[in-house]
Amino acid sequence: MSEAIFDGLDAVLTRWTMGSAAAPVASMWRGELGTEPAEAELRLLALSGQFLGVAVTAAVPADLRVLPDIPPLASPTVPEALRPLVRRNLATMKEPRLRNELLHFLALRGWTLHPGDWMPAANDEDCPDVYAPWRDWAEMAASTAAVAEPTHDALTAENWDDYWPAARKVALARLRMRDPQAARVLLEARVADTGAEERLRLLGLLAIGLSSDDAPFLVSLAGTDRAPKVKALAASLLGRLGRDAAADEDVAELAKFFELQTKGLLRRTKVLAAKEIKTPAQAARRRQLFASAEVATFAAALQVTADDLPAIWNWGGDPLADADFATMAERSGSDRLIAALLDSMERKAIRNIQVLLALRPRLGPAQRTALARQALAAGESFQSALSIAGGCGGIDDVTDTPAGTKLIEGLKDAEGVRAAEQAGELLALGLVASRAAAIRAMERLGAAGLLSADPRLDMLRLNAGLEDNGVKA
């Protein structure tokens, strides 16, 4: 009977679509509809609605997959009252870099975003580790594989495959911080089972607590791994350990762009100075050579030790060479070398932002904050400070810096900096300031004539309103 009713509804729906009465063609319910035309249409509507809602159900697709709920994160969600501010800031931050700075700012305050406001993609490597469960959930949603329940057991060789990639990386990083040798042994046992991109991500974790015990494993990867990027990273990590320091032809060519000079009449000191670049082709070639060289091989080609380089480098003589040298040092220099470079730059009052940006991946939050504070004191902008410190700023008294004075004076002066140009500084100010500094900045900016409802103050308002429950830089 249901088949006949379902077929008969075709003519009914067609007539209704055309605006005509349909009761005359509903022969399957003629007795139930009666003879009064208006009443018959109402009865037909009720019967057809009940039939379609109860007797007809959509077939479940064969490939339907039931995903688990979006997992909770380790940190609480931003308070409901502040979510509109979060959404407006996310809409303003068109660059992924700025969005990631906001994510790190919130994570260090002890908060996370609501999944209705933002969800990471599986490949969002730069977002904080606290979002690893969401990244894995996004990968599950896009995958056709069976979805297994996530494990909360400690990562081992046996349960390695029970972890999805993002959570596996976080677990291995924590193991590396707690027991470097155990983490390396585990990676050695399972690295062959991972794809090239994941091998590259996991191998980078050996930078945590890197020691000579890691050298045999790195030598093996540098010589036999199938992926060129993995081999290059293994070679760079070996360079940080001072291994494989024999200079090749390219590094010898790079060394010829520099010369050791002796300065001073009484106190003779050595300086490694860049030779004058005469053509754009020479500049491009030097940069290309820096990109593939390692600190140890570069020092060997100059017939000095890697530990000598920070002291003899001629900071400020060629800013482009400074930045390329810093990039090479970040990639392949030891922790001791990085510390010596920073010390040398501080003693010589070098404030090359490009150098600091190159070294940033090797610096901890406290170091980045200290360098950003020094940059502000030396007259750099809030946006430069943000590029150094990132979302871990937490800097006090930011409006007492030259950048703060310039911003406030620009607001007072009708002919000063235009509103669009101020927006970037106000956004950066909101990300680098501590909560107390954000509250004071709001007061001073209000006194300078900026309305508290001005959308350019959204980041400062979020900063001022958000409790600081997180990690201290």
pLDDT per position as a tens digit, 32-49 = 888 888 998 898 889 888
Give the pLDDT of residue 151: 66
Least confident of 198-207, 261-270, 375-384: 261-270
Tell me how crowded residue 163 is: count the other CB atoms within 10 A of its CB: 21
Longest CA pairwise span in the chain (Å): 121
Average pLDDT over residues 179-205: 94
Structurally, the chain folds into a number of domains equal to 4
Domain end point (choices 243, 267, 282)? 243
Beta bridge partners of 258: 274
- Radius of gyration for the chain, computed over Cα atoms and rounded to the nearest angstrom: 32
Residues 6+ apart with CB under 8 A from 216: none
Residues in the chain: 473
The answer to the question of residue 61 being in a domain is: no
Q: Does 226 lie in the same domain as 138?
A: yes
Same domain? 233 vs 276: no
Whether 70 maps to a domain, the answer reads no
pLDDT in tens, 77-109: 999 999 999 999 999 998 999 999 999 999 999
How distant, in Å, are the alpha carbons of 27, 39, 42, 45, 431 from that of 34?
11, 8, 11, 13, 73
User: Does 72 reside within a domain?
Assistant: no
| Residue 460 pLDDT | 95
Tell me the β-bridge partners of 112.
77
| 231 in a structural domain | yes
Would you say residue 473 has pLDDT above 50? no
Q: Are residues 418 and 468 in the same domain?
A: yes
- 218-241 pLDDT, tens digit per residue, is 999 988 899 999 998 998 899 888
Are 214 and 260 in the same domain?
no
Residue 412 lies inside a defined structural domain of this protein: yes
Please tell me whether residues 344 and 274 are part of one structural domain.
yes
Residue 90 sits in the same domain as residue 196: no
In a domain, 67, yes or no: no
pLDDT at 6: 74
Last residue of a domain, one of 55, 70, 95: 55
d(CA 472, CA 451): 31
Give the residue from 184, 215, 243 where a domain finishes: 243
Other C-beta atoms closer than 10 Å to the C-beta of 15 total 16
At residue 68 the predicted structure's pLDDT band, cuts being 50, 70 and 90, is confident
Higher pLDDT, 372 or 27: 372
Task: Find all residues with CB under 8 Å of 135, minimum gap 6, and list them.
Answer: 120, 121, 122, 123, 124, 127, 165, 166
Same domain flag for 226 and 136: yes
Q: For all residues of the chain together, what is the average pLDDT?
A: 88
What's the rounded Cα separation, in Å, for the pair 436 and 284?
A: 46
Q: Provide, rounded to the nearest whole percent, the portion of the chain with pLDDT above 90.
A: 59
Q: State mean pLDDT over 270-274.
A: 91
The per-residue pLDDT for range 304-361, each reduced to its tens digit, is 999 999 999 999 889 999 999 999 999 999 999 999 999 999 888 888 899 999 999 9
In a domain, 320, yes or no: yes
The pLDDT score that the predictor gives to residue 71 is: 92
Range of the domain at 14: 2-55
Same domain, 428 and 396: yes
CA distance linking residue 235 with residue 237, whole number of Å: 5
Top pLDDT among 8 and 71 is at: 71
Residue 192 confidence (pLDDT) above 50: yes
Are 235 and 278 in a shared domain? no
**Are residue 239 and residue 171 in the same domain, yes or no?**
yes
Shared domain check, 194 and 98: no
Using the predicted structure, report yes or no on whether residue 166 has a pLDDT greater than 90. Answer: yes
Same structural domain for residues 233 and 321? no
**If pLDDT is split at 50, 70 and 90, which confidence band does 142 have?**
confident
Q: Which two tokens stand for residue 380?
A: 């750099």
Report pLDDT for 264.
63
* Each residue's pLDDT tens digit, 364-423: 888 999 999 989 998 999 999 999 998 876 899 899 999 999 998 887 665 545 667 788
How many Å apart are CA 3 and CA 298, to the nearest integer?
83
Percent of the chain with pLDDT over 70: 93
